[in-house]
Amino acid sequence: MAVTTPADPAGPAAPATGQRSGATPPASARRRAGGGARHWRWPAVVPFFAFMAVCFGLPACTLAYNAFTVVDPATGADHYSLENVRRSLSGAYATGLAGSVKLSLLSAVLATVLGTVIGQALLSSRNGALRKAAVSASGVFANFSGAPLAFAFIATLGTTGTVTRLLHLKSTGFSLYTFTGLVLAYLYFMVPLMVVTVLPALDGVRTQWREAAASCGATKAQFWRHVGLPVLMPSLLGGAVLMFGTAFASHATAAVMTGSSVPLITIQIANALSGNVLVGQENLALAMSLNMVVIALLVMAIQIPLQRRSNRWLG
């Protein structure tokens, strides 16, 4: 019979080796391994930062530099000045900036309300095919803007449009080529965009919350007033800010429909870039563009924290 003696090295040595192979590596080794992994991740994002620097950073720096540069018409020499920014915020240019802000605010509020109501109606619908078709159509309509949308509205609601003649809209004083007509055109693609934006947030309202509220005797109106809307408010405000930014940056639809009859900052920038400025004010369009960039940055500064707060509740 074979007997293993204490002096046999094969007995106690085997379990010790197995214990070392399954043990967790020391913290210092894990930090070195993690640091090495992070070190090798940086080259993967270099193309992204190079793209951002060339396509966004360089044009932004050029815009800011020329916005604060004034060219002397007599000598052709340029010098730094706030004159372009001052002119961009006064007179007709200030009216255009105010018109764009007013149009964007009104369109954003209406699109937020209508999009939220339509989105909740889609979620409440028991017809799955209808819901999928409506969501797909919203994705398509949200991207239908610009000159094609303007021509579609002119053919439908213009002076000799089909609906205008059928419903005798001219007798009511309605005109598509006004501020009201622009709001209608903007809502055509902003409402579907709001539906697509707000649907994930509406879908995040859990059924257990409704059941808990109902078990406590709360009605549907009380649930939405005290639970649903407070939870959804960051998402709704974030969507409204997104709608504002979308309307504020839109240009082609307004340019084709109304031209310069409705003062908007985007149309004034296009006119200035095409040479419709006084001598020595060549950089005025860049100063107006700088104003739009500042407003866009403010919109982003509001939208990002709202999105984070929404994800905290509904994520």
Q: pLDDT of 186-214, one tens digit each?
A: 999 999 999 999 988 888 888 888 889 88
Closest listed residue to residue 147, CA positions, set 204, 189, 88? 189
pLDDT at residue 276 tops 70: no
Q: What angle do CA 18, 21, 25 make, to 5 degrees?
A: 140
Query: Distance of CA 216 to CAs 13, 211, 222, Å?
Result: 66, 9, 11
pLDDT at residue 181 tops 50: yes
Digit-coded pLDDT (tens) for 22-44: 455 666 666 666 555 666 677 78
Predicted confidence at residue 229, as pLDDT, reads 87
Instruction: Quickly state the pLDDT bin for 185 (edges 50, 70, 90).
Output: very high
Mean pLDDT of 227-251: 88
Instruction: Quickly state the pLDDT bin for 54 (edges 50, 70, 90).
Output: very high
What is the overall mean pLDDT for the chain? 82
CA distance 218 to 192: 32
By the 8 A CB rule, do 108 and 277 touch? Answer: no
CA distance 13 to 256: 86
Predicted confidence at residue 270, as pLDDT, reads 86
Closest listed residue to residue 194, CA positions, set 244, 231, 131? 244
Predicted confidence at residue 113, as pLDDT, reads 95
pLDDT at residue 4 tops 80: no
Buried b (16+ CB within 10 A) or exposed e, 30-66: eeeeeeeeeeeeeeeeeeeeeeeeeeeeeeeeebeeb
By the 8 A CB rule, do 97 and 289 touch? Answer: no
pTM: 0.77
